[in-house]
């Protein structure tokens, strides 16, 4: 069983989505909220492709025989660039001083898509840092609302510590404590939720910048290569 992605035949197993089959076959489709260990979410829209002529998120589109998927077209790449620029300008992303720089998926996808500026007017939202947990820093300035921490905490850690609240532009990450402070939750340093944040919103304290430039995830190779050939 195969479908085509930009003219390439992509084999797939029943139940796989387009992005899963594409990545398994060594073809990168940019994405942020998709994570192989969790149910597809379809919220960031960065994996949008043209599927049989209609735009669709490839992480939620089941692979099926004969699908014609277009990913690296100028039109689709432009949509992705816009989406990533929206994310950069809706939050406070200061890459030069961010400890996740070089390991950040948002930054890496930005580079992959040729994003050189935020383009849109930055909103500069006021989002205080929550440092109340002794070992974990929550900096929602960088949160892109991918809900990976929400899913990891609920599905793997069984704690449901994180959730999204509000709607539209007011949507934001909250934690499950009456005080609203991370330090009053049951978050433990062994929780899966700490390791899935694609940006620098949930961080282990006192470890920033310990990995030197040159050895960070995306220093040597772009995310398109790292994702499909992680072992290299």
Partner 1 sequence: MNSLEKAEHPAGLKRIAIEPVSRVEGHGKVTILLDAENRVHQVRLHIVEFRGFERFIQGRPYWEVPVMVQRLCGICPVSHHLAASKALDQVVGARRITPTAEKLRRLMHYGQILQSHALHFYHLSSPDLLFGFDAPVAIRNVVGVLQAYPEAAKRGVMLRKFGQEVIRITAGKRVHGTGSVPGGVNKCITPEERDLLVAGLPDVLRWADEGIALVAQLHGAHREAWDRFGTVRSNLLSIVRRDGALDLYDGVIRARDADGHILVDGIEPTAYGDLIRENVRSWSYMKFPYLQSLGAEHGWYKVGPLARLQNCDFIPTPRAEAARQAFAATAGGQIVHAPLAFHWARMIELLHSAEVIAELLDDPDLLKNDLMASGPRATTGVGIIEAPRGTLIHHYEVDAQDLVTQCNLIVSTTHNNQAMNEAIREVAREYLDGREITEGLLNHIEVAIRAYDPCLSCATHALGKMPLVVELLDATGALVDRRVRDAEQLA
Residue 15 contacts partner 1 per CB under 8 A: no
With helix as H, strand as E and coil as C, how does the chain read?
CEEEECCEEEECCCCCEHHHHHHHCCCCCCCCCCCCCCCCCCCCCCCEEEECCEEEECCCCECCCCCEEECCCHHHHHHHHHHHHHHHHHCCCCHHHCCCCCCCHHHHHHHHHCCCCCCCCCCCCCCCCECCCCCEEECHHHCCCCCHHHHHHHHHCCCCCEEEECCHHHCEEEECCCCCCHHHCCCCCCCHHHCCCCCCCEEECCCCCCCCCCCCCCCCCCHHHHHHCCCC
Residue 172 contacts partner 1 per CB under 8 A: no
Q: Among 1, 11, 36, 209, which residue interacts with partner 1 (rule: CB under 8 A)?
A: 209
Min CB(181)–partner 1 separation in Å? 10
Nearer residue to partner 1 within complex by CB, 206 or 232: 206
Read off φ and ψ for residue 78, nearest 5 degrees.
-65, -40
Residue 95 contacts partner 1 per CB under 8 A: no
Nearer residue to partner 1 within complex by CB, 71 or 92: 92
Min CB(105)–partner 1 separation in Å? 19
Residue 118 contacts partner 1 per CB under 8 A: no
Residue 232 contacts partner 1 per CB under 8 A: no
Min CB(16)–partner 1 separation in Å? 39
Nearer residue to partner 1 within complex by CB, 169 or 213: 213
Q: Among 120, 205, 222, 229, which residue interacts with partner 1 (rule: CB under 8 A)?
A: 205
58, 65, 94, 225 from 26: Cα distances, Å: 15, 19, 32, 9
Q: Which stretch binds partner 1 (CB under 8 A): 21-29, 73-81, 168-176, 202-210?
A: 202-210
List the interface residues with partner 1, window 122-141 (CB under 8 A).
128-129, 131-132, 137
Q: Among 207, 220, 222, 229, which residue interacts with partner 1 (rule: CB under 8 A)?
A: 207
What is the CA 76 to chain-centroid distance, rounded?
18
The answer to whether the CB of 192 falls within 8 A of the CB of 201 is no
Q: Among 53, 54, 65, 97, which residue interacts with partner 1 (rule: CB under 8 A)?
A: 97
Q: Which stretch binds partner 1 (CB under 8 A): 9-17, 35-43, 112-120, 199-207?
A: 199-207
Binding site for partner 1 (CB under 8 A): 96-99, 128-129, 131-132, 137, 205-214
């Amino acid at each position: 069983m195969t479908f085509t992605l930009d003219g390439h035949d992509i084999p797939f197993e029943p139940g796989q989505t387009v992005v899963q089959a594409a990545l398994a076959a060594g073809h990168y489709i940019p994405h942020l909220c998709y994570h192989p260990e969790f149910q597809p979410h379809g919220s960031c829209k960065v994996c949008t492709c043209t599927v049989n002529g209609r735009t669709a998120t490839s992480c939620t589109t089941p692979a099926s025989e004969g699908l014609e998927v277009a990913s690296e077209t100028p039109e689709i790449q432009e949509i992705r660039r816009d989406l990533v620029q929206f994310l950069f300008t809706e939050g406070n992303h200061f890459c030069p001083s961010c400890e996740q720089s070089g390991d950040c998926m948002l930054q890496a996808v930005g580079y992959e898509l040729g994003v050189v500026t935020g383009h849109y007017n930055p909103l500069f939202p006021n989002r205080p840092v929550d440092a109340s947990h002794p070992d974990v820093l929550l900096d929602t300035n960088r949160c892109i609302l991918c809900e990976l921490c929400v899913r990891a905490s609920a599905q793997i850690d069984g704690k449901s510590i994180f959730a999204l609240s509000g709607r539209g532009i007011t949507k934001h990450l909250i934690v499950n404590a009456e005080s609203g402070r991370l330090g009053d939750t049951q978050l433990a340093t062994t929780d899966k939720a700490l390791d899935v944040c694609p940006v620098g919103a949930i961080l282990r304290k006192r470890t920033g910048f310990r990995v030197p430039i040159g050895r960070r995830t995306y220093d040597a190779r772009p995310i398109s290569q790292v994702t499909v050939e992680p072992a290299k």
